[in-house]
C-alpha cells in the first residue's frame, strides 16, 4: 500500500478504508452490577423486544449510505445481556444485517450471555439463528466472590453455563475478573484453573477497576492491594501460558487460531458501525475519521431511530488526536503493530509521534525496529503510563 500523508492541516487522506465490523448494543440486564459502567439498564418487567429490534433495523437502514459497498467481517451483539432476547429476535437482527449490509459468509458473529439467562434449548436456537461465537460473563466460579460483586448467578450456574456453552458452540469465550473484593492470589488462580478445565477456545481475564459513575466507585469495597493484584496477574498469565493459551492482548488469551476477530478489529483501529442504545461507532472516509454515538436511554433511542434520528452525536476526530486513538488500541496487543499500519489507519506518518516513541523506548516501555512497534513486558504491565506519553492536547470535536 502506498504511504499516506496529511492532505491539509487538520485533515487526513486515507489510501484505503480499514476493515469494517458491526456492533449491536442490547441494553437490558436482569440486574445492574455495582462495578459496571456500560450502558445497561435493569429490566423491569418484560423488555420491548420487538419494538427495539424494529428500532435497530431502522438504524441500520439509515446507516447503509455511510458504509455502502464495504464488507462486514464480524458482528458483535453486546450489552447489557443480549441473551435476554429470544432467538427469534436475534435471528431478525442478523437477517436484517445480512439483507442491508454485505456480510461475509464466514463472518464471526458473537453474542454475549450471562449464566443467569442460560437455557440449553434457547442456546441451540441462538446457534441456529446464525450466532457462531458465545461470550459468557462468568466473572468467577467462587460463590463468595460472585456475591461480593453483585452477580445474579451462583457458582453452580457459572459451571453449568460453561458446560452448556461448550456443548453448543465451537467457539466460546469465558470472561473472568480478578482482584475482586476479599480475593487472595490463590483464589484468583483457582478461578483460572477452573476455567481452563472447561477448555474454552478463548479466555478474558480482567482486573476489576472502580469506574466513575458506578456503585463501587461511590462505595468502594475492600480490594487487594497493588502487590497482590500484580501477583494475581503474573500467576494468571503463567497458568494460561502453560495451558497453551496465547496472551495476545492485555486481557485476552486464545488457543492458536481462535483470537477474537471483532476485538482485533478494535485494537487494530479498524472501523465499526455501532447501532443500538448508547452504541459507539468509528467510521473512516477518504479524508476523515468520524465517531458516532447513539441516544443512550433505550426509550429515547427507540423513538429517535424509528423517526430516523438515532444519532445523538457525530464528530470528526481531529488529526492531532488520531495518533493517540490508534496507539491506545494497538499497544494493547502483545505483538504491537506493523509500522505501515499506523499510516494506513490514521493517514499520518509515524514520524508525527517520534518524540514520544523515543521516550517510551528509552524508558523500556516499547521495543521497535523497521517493521514493528511493540510493548515490552514492562510496557504491558504499566500500560497507562505508556499510553500517557501519547496524549494529545485537548481539542474540541467538530460536528459533521
Asked if the bond preceding 371 is cis, omega within 30° of 0, the reply is: no
How does pLDDT run across 324-348, given as a tens digit for each residue? Answer: 999 999 999 999 999 999 999 999 9
pLDDT of residue 10: 57
pTM beyond 0.85: the answer is: yes
pLDDT of residue 44: 81
pLDDT of residue 34: 77
Residue ranges, the chain, pLDDT below 70? 1-11, 117-118, 393-400
The span from the first CA to the last CA of the chain, in angstroms, equals 28
| Domains and their CATH numbers in the chain | 20-265 (3.20.20.70), 320-400 (1.10.10.920)
Amino acid at each position: 500500500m502506498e504511504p499516506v500523508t496529511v492532505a491539509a492541516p487538520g485533515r487526513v487522506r486515507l489510501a484505503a478504508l480499514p476493515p469494517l465490523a458491526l456492533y449491536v448494543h442490547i441494553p437490558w440486564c436482569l440486574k445492574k452490577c455495582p462495578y459496571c459502567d456500560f450502558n445497561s439498564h435493569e429490566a423491569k418487567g418484560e423488555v420491548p423486544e420487538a419494538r427495539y429490534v424494529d428500532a435497530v433495523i431502522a438504524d441500520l437502514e439509515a446507516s447503509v449510505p455511510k458504509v455502502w459497498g464495504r464488507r462486514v467481517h464480524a458482528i458483535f451483539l453486546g450489552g447489557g445481556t443480549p441473551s435476554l432476547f429470544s432467538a427469534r429476535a436475534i435471528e431478525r437482527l442478523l437477517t436484517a444485517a445480512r439483507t442491508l449490509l454485505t456480510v461475509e459468509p464466514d463472518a464471526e458473529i458473537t453474542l454475549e450471555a450471562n449464566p443467569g439467562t442460560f437455557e440449553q434449548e434457547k442456546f441451540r436456537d441462538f446457534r441456529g439463528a446464525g450466532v457462531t461465537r458465545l461470550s459468557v460473563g462468568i466473572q468467577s466460579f467462587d460463590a463468595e466472590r460472585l456475591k461480593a460483586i453483585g452477580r445474579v448467578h451462583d457458582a453452580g450456574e457459572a459451571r453449568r453455563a460453561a458446560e452448556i456453552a461448550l456443548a453448543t458452540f465451537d467457539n466460546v469465550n469465558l470472561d473472568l475478573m480478578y482482584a475482586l473484593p476479599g480475593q487472595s492470589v490463590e483464589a484468583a488462580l483457582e478461578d483460572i484453573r477452573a476455567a481452563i478445565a472447561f477448555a474454552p477456545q478463548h479466555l478474558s481475564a480482567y482486573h476489576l477497576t472502580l469506574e466513575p459513575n458506578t456503585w463501587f466507585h461511590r462505595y468502594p469495597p475492600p480490594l487487594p492491594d497493588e502487590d497482590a493484584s500484580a501477583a494475581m496477574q503474573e500467576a494468571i498469565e503463567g497458568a494460561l501460558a502453560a495451558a497453551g493459551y496465547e496472551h495476545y492482548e492485555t486481557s485476552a488469551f486464545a488457543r492458536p487460531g481462535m483470537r477474537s476477530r471483532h476485538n482485533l478489529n478494535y485494537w487494530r483501529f479498524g472501523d465499526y458501525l455501532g447501532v443500538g442504545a448508547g452504541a459507539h461507532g468509528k467510521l473512516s472516509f477518504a479524508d476523515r475519521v468520524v465517531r458516532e454515538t447513539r441516544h443512550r436511554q433505550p426509550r429515547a433511542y427507540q423513538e429517535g431511530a424509528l423517526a430516523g434520528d438515532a444519532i445523538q452525536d457525530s464528530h470528526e476526530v481531529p488529526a492531532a488526536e488520531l495518533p493517540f486513538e490508534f496507539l491506545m488500541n494497538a499497544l494493547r496487543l502483545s505483538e504491537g503493530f506493523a509500522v505501515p499500519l499506523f499510516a494506513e489507519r490514521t493517514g499520518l506518518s509515524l514520524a508525527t509521534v517520534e518524540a514520544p516513541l523515543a521516550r517510551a523506548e528509552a524508558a523500556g516501555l516499547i521495543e521497535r525496529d523497521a517493521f514493528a512497534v511493540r510493548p515490552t513486558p514492562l510496557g504491558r504491565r504499566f500500560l497507562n503510563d505508556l499510553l500517557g506519553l501519547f496524549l494529545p492536547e485537548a481539542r474540541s470535536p467538530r460536528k459533521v
